[in-house]
Amino acid sequence: MLVDPEANNSIEKSKDMVLEAYPHAKILVIKDIQGKGKSKKHNEFLTKITPAQFENIEDMSKYIVLNQKGEVQLVTSYKNSENDPDWKNDQPMVKRIVLPLLAKKETETKE
């Protein structure tokens, strides 16, 4: 799942990067209420979906990875890109922590 403003141009880049590596990945873009900044709807969603082992940071641009049972395996935040050269480019973070979870899923389904 990608949680981002719907008109954000980074959504297409993110979707393309994941689908290039994992063509069968299912991607859901959550549309938020129109307006400036984060909305109550966005914050409520994050509070409900973020498991206790992850810090609930109410920023935009989230990657949320679920397993086949619908259990949340990862919720990213800006902190996951802190040491990357360009914090606006999420590709290093996606390659480092999101794609390995998808690779694990694909390996499990092949067995």
pLDDT over 60 at 107, yes or no: no
Task: Identify the band that residue 12 occupies on the pLDDT scale cut at 50, 70 and 90.
Answer: confident
Output the 3-class SS for the chain: CEECCCCCCHHHHHHHHHHHHCCCCCCCEECCCCCCCCCHHHHHHHHHHCCCCCCCCCCCCEEEEECCCCCEEEECCHHHHCCCCCCCCCHHHHHHHHHHHHHHHHHHHHC
Which range of 76-80, 90-94, 97-101, 106-110 scores highest in mean pLDDT? It is 97-101
